[in-house]
Amino acid sequence: MVRSAQKGYRLMHYYQFNIGDYRRDAGYLTPMQHYIYRSLIDWYFLDEKPIPSDIETVTRKLSLSNDRSTDVQQVFNDFFTLDSGRYIHARIEADIDAYHRQISDASKAGKASAAARKANKQAALERALNDRATDAQPTRNYKQETINQEPSTESNPLVASDAGRPDCPHQEIIRLYHEKLPELAGVKVWNKKRMTLLQSRWREDESRQSLEFWGKFFNYVSKSNWLMGRTNEWQCNLEWLLNSSNFVKVLEGNYELI
C-alpha cells in the first residue's frame, strides 16, 4: 500500500531508535554495513514504503560505489524480506502503522472533543435565551450592576467569551512559564498576537484547560536540550511554543532526543 496516497496523510519525520535492540541485532556488522543499514532505515521511514530491490539503484541512492553492492545485498539478506520486487522490514512497517493509528486516534478524539464543546456552547446559549425570555423587568439598580461586571471581550481580550468554557488564565500561565523555564527569554510584552496564540491552544482541547497541564508541559520542554539551547545557540520562547505547528511537534516528542 502506498500510504502517502491517502487523503490528509502525514508522513513520519521522527522515529524512536532503540540502541540496545540495534546493538543486539546488528552489532556484528562492519562500519560500512552499519552505514548502509542505518541509511536504509532512514530511507524507509521517510518514504514510508519498502526499498526497491535493484541494487544499482540503492547504491546510487546511498552515494556508494558499485563495489559496495555485496555489502548492500548482505544487509538486505540479514534484515529485510524480498516481496514483489521490494525489500520489506517488518519492524519498520509495524512502527509506521502504529504512528498513523496514533494520529488517527488523536484526530478522532479531537473531533469528538470539538463536537462536545460545540454542543455545550449551544446548550449554554439556549439556557441563556430561555432565562432572558422569562426574566422580570429590570430593577432600578440594573445599570449599576452592569457597570460593576467584568468588561466585555472587546475591551478585555483576557476574558473568554464562550459560555460554559473556563477562562484562559493568561497571567497564571505566563507565571508558570517563568517559573518552570527561567533559562528562556522572559515575557515582557503580552500583545494581541500572543494572547490569541495562547487562547487558541487553550481552547483546542479540554485537557489543556487547566494550570496543571501547562505546568507539566513546561516541565516537559525543560528536558529538551535542543529547545533549551544546551546543545545549540538557539532557544525557544513562549511565542514559539504557542505556535500551532511547534506546539504539536513538542507534544509528539519531536525534540526529546535532541
Q: Which residue segments constitute the domains of the chain, with CATH numbers given?
A: 11-98 (1.10.10), 166-258 (no CATH)
DSSP string, 121-170: HHHHHHHHHHHHHH--PPPTTHHHHHHHSPPPTTT-TTS--STTSPP--H
Local structure of residue 80 (DSSP, 8 states): -
Residue with cell 555485496: 70
Three-class SS state of 52: strand
DSSP string, 180-238: H-TTSPPP----HHHHHHHHHHHHH-GGGSSHHHHHHHHHHHHT-TTTTTSSSS----H
pTM score, two decimals?
0.39
**DSSP E strand boundaries for 33-96:** 51-52, 81-83, 86-88
Higher pLDDT, 254 or 106: 254
Those residues whose C-beta lies under 8 Å from the C-beta of residue 171, and which sit 6 or more positions away, are 158
Would you say 222 and 182 are in contact if contact means Cβ atoms under 8 Å apart?
no
Return d(Cα 217, Cα 189) in angstroms, integer: 22
What angle do helix axes 31-47 and 90-134 make, rounded to 10 degrees?
Answer: 30
pLDDT of residue 149: 37
Higher pLDDT, 216 or 137: 216
User: Other C-beta atoms within 10 Å of 91: how many?
Assistant: 13
pLDDT per position as a tens digit, 192-225: 999 999 999 999 999 999 999 999 999 999 999 9
Say if residue 53 is exposed, middle or buried (CB neighbours under 10 Å; 0-12, 13-18, 19+): middle
pLDDT per position as a tens digit, 32-80: 999 999 999 999 988 888 999 999 999 999 999 989 999 999 999 999 9
Percent of the chain with pLDDT over 90: 51
> With bands split at pLDDT 50, 70 and 90, how would you rate the model's confidence at 115?
confident
Higher pLDDT, 157 or 242: 242
pLDDT per position as a tens digit, 2-29: 454 444 455 666 778 888 888 898 999 9
| Mean pLDDT lowest among 11-20, 63-72, 109-118, 138-147 | 138-147
Q: Which three cell numbers stand for residue 31?
A: 562500519
Backbone angles phi, psi at 83, to 5 degrees: -150, 115
CB crowding 68-88: b at 16 or more within 10 Å, else e = beebbebbbeebbeeeeeebe
| Mean pLDDT lowest among 77-86, 145-154, 197-206, 237-246 | 145-154
- Residue 148 pLDDT > 60, yes or no? no
